[in-house]
Structure 1
Amino acid sequence: MIRDLTDDEARRGLVLKWGTTDPDVIPAWVAEMDYALAPPVAAALHDAIEAGITGYPRFETEGGVLGEAYAGWASRQFGHRVDPEQVVPVVDVTAGVRVALDVLSEPGPMVMPGPAYSPQLDVAQVTGRERVDLLLDPDAPRAEIDLDSLDQAFADGARTLLLTQPHNPWGRVFTRTELEGIRDVVVRHGARVISDEIHAPLVLAGAEHVPYLSIEGTADHAVAVVAASKAFNTAGLRCAQIVSADTATHRRLTDVPMVRNDSWSPLGVIAAVAAYTDGDAWLDALRVRLSSQRDLLARLLAQHLPEARMRPLEATYLAWIDLRAYGHDDPAAVALERGRVQLAAGHDYQPGLTGHVRLNIATSPERLTEIVHRLATALTPGTTSNS
């Protein structure tokens, strides 16, 4: 059910990931998958283009067909009851985070666990806030949010936590117990949570996503920002959703002037509805493929880069790899220059961080194998690829 794109198809279709690289480079950096569109999504988009649906979207800020589709999907996937009328469309997840900060949060600093998704490193600043980094110790055996540090950040004046869960680039799925601990700290300080859950569909075998809003006692201080775009490879179609579970919160989101919420795309709505309504079987197959790719990566690293350190990948198709043992401050640059493979540099996710890369595993087993062979060749002098 998951069809790998050929190199030519990928260069035509994935105009950023593949279209900006030299022909001899394998791209494994930006978060797009080297897979063909899910058939239900492709069919819905084809019908929409045939019908000429390329104008403005319906400016529905409460429920509608998108809200119904997401609510049904959340119920099936997570057992989470969502009020369809409290699903608000936005252009993308980062814009949704910005809208939620602008509309719901007090002016104080925003706490951001890091390393963090690089485009969101500036979201506090563009909303007139200071960013307080809650940085993961690179040597920590497990990637966790330090509740004592979070408590101190709020005590020092922070008012909002931007919680990415599942986390990119950590690859963590936070447990219910962990989320309850976060809730307790937030409630103690009267603070707010914006939960970026774009990777929720991409929880791999052995883990389970718990929506933050499904935790008791979160409705009055939190929203979730969600989308089908990461799991179904439709980021360019521009449609995400802000989900609330509190009437007052929802009303604040829908009462803002339209100019504050960038206009979403009608094709994005159509793709999201198709994904949420008819995409379950394809998504199941995708998670099987990605779980297999995760296991393949672990074997390849053990064989070809035994000093690499990677915590268990519980979600996303983005592996966070510590390569400090190989002695390069910027292993992504070395990989590109010597190995002709493009990875995302660790310092993009935490300025000043050395020795780390983020590697996209959402490709074919053959490409992933070649990526690791090339990386090993680049980082370890005297090594040659046997592919």
Structure 2
Amino acid sequence: MSLFTLSEADLRARTSLKWQTFPSDVLPMWVAEMDAMPLPEAVDAVTEALQRGDTGYPYGTGYADAYADLAASRWGWRPAPEQLRRAGDVMNAMLSLLLGNTAEGDHIVINPPVYPPFWQIIAGYRRHITQVPLTASGRLDLAALEAAFTGPDAPTAYLLCSPHNPTGTIHTPEELSAVARLCAEHDVLLIVDEIHALLVDPGAAFTPILSLPDAQNAVVTFSAGKCWNLAAFKAGLYIRGTEASALFDRLPPLANQSTGHIGALAHTAALRHGEAWVDQVMVEVAANKDLLTRLVAERLPGVRYDRAPGTYLAWLDCSGLGLERPRDHFLAQGKVAFNNGSDFGADYGQYIRMNLAASPELITEAVERMATSLG
């Protein structure tokens, strides 16, 4: 049974960011919220907690234990209890790691185009950004990383998005091992965002970096919020490698205080009971990727879409359209909202990011609006 069956009227009744930011005549296909009802077991966990008045502070290791069990069953790797620690959302966890393990004025590496908060937690906290863009094919550029690590502004940390947002690239085990070795060789802290870990196409293989022997110097931030559309519930985890034990000792004093108890219960239920649900999401997203490939070829010949196996997001190159600001054009003339590519890096203003966790009907309508706006 399809998960993306809600009517547009039902979706517009939501009061969250995706459906309330723009006027009602704009079709929102931007921020990473799914157009699906949540996992029933997560709803039950929240409802039961509220009914018994269980609305206090978080306690115990239930979330961490659920993650470890899922990692063992899905990826054949189990972190030890001492490798896990409670966190809030992924970006606050990454920020805490930066604040505890780097200093103001340090250089931090990222791979544009990349999720906008990566830029914000560096520049907003008086660190300097070192850009090592992905290659033209969307892969990590190992030679450029090594050059950055040995350059005049040698970085102290590297923020890696895996799978990569917005391109959907899934890094290979070989790439991840090579990155970890480079970081170890040059004393660069490797911080990896794995919030999209289960959001991969059927048959695609995601590798948790800490499942690799060469990557035990890394630390991962994870949350079930993205995979199960539970962004309203703040909860997550730090997971460190076996060679990164000192990292937790250097976290800021309040680094573990942003976890919500109800959030942890919802996320734990998702990890325990929701693999089939998220796998069904990605079956439907894979079909939507195929649909978008066809629609772009038929209706938007000036747009390039390179289908990728990770995430439910599409990264569209609109440079062939001759528009000064494609995202603004589609919003004003097509009444359809996308993420602006320039938010993922200054060189990507000709790109837009499109959310494919939606019904085929809405995706088709979005492309039709784009095509009509171009005349």
TM-score (norm 1): 0.91
For the residue of structure 2 that corresponds to 1:213, the secondary structure is: helix
Alignment of 1:48-87 (within 5 A): 48-58=49-59, 64-87=61-84
Distance, in Å, in 1 between the alignment partners of 2:74 and 2:15 is 28
**2:141 matched to which residue of 1?**
146
Which letter does structure 2 place at the counterpart of 1:33?
M
**2:126 matched to which residue of 1?**
128
Alignment of 1:63-212 (within 5 A): 64-105=61-102, 108-136=106-134, 140=136, 142-156=137-151, 157-212=154-209
**2:228 matched to which residue of 1?**
232
Distance, in Å, in 1 between the alignment partners of 2:321 and 2:70 is 44
For the residue of structure 2 that corresponds to 1:153, the secondary structure is: helix
For the residue of structure 2 that corresponds to 1:13, the secondary structure is: coil
Distance, in Å, in 1 between the alignment partners of 2:123 and 2:363 is 37
Which letter does structure 2 place at the counterpart of 1:236?
A
Quote the offset at 1:258 in angstroms.
Answer: 3.6
Alignment of 1:206-285 (within 5 A): 206-219=203-216, 221-246=217-242, 249-250=244-245, 252-253=247-248, 256=251, 258-285=253-280
> Does structure 2 retain, via aligned residues, the 8 Å contact 1:195–1:225?
yes
Structure 1's unaligned 5+ residue stretches are: 382-387
> Does structure 2 retain, via aligned residues, the 8 Å contact 1:324–1:355?
yes
For the residue of structure 2 that corresponds to 1:17, the secondary structure is: helix
Distance, in Å, in 2 between the alignment partners of 1:36 and 1:43 is 13
Distance, in Å, in 2 between the alignment partners of 1:17 and 1:182 is 35
Distance, in Å, in 2 between the alignment partners of 1:245 and 1:323 is 40
Percentage identity across aligned positions?
33
Distance, in Å, in 1 between the alignment partners of 2:141 and 2:41 is 41
Cα 1:83–1:12 shift into 2, 3 Å:
farther
> Does structure 2 retain, via aligned residues, the 8 Å contact 1:70–1:84?
no
For the residue of structure 1 that corresponds to 2:43, the secondary structure is: helix
TM-score (norm 2): 0.94
**2:28 matched to which residue of 1?**
27
Quote the offset at 1:50 in angstroms.
Answer: 1.4
**Alignment deviations for residues 128-154 of structure 1 (CA, whole Å, 9 cap, x no partner):** 3211011235xx2x1011111111111
Distance, in Å, in 1 between the alignment partners of 2:183 and 2:173 is 15
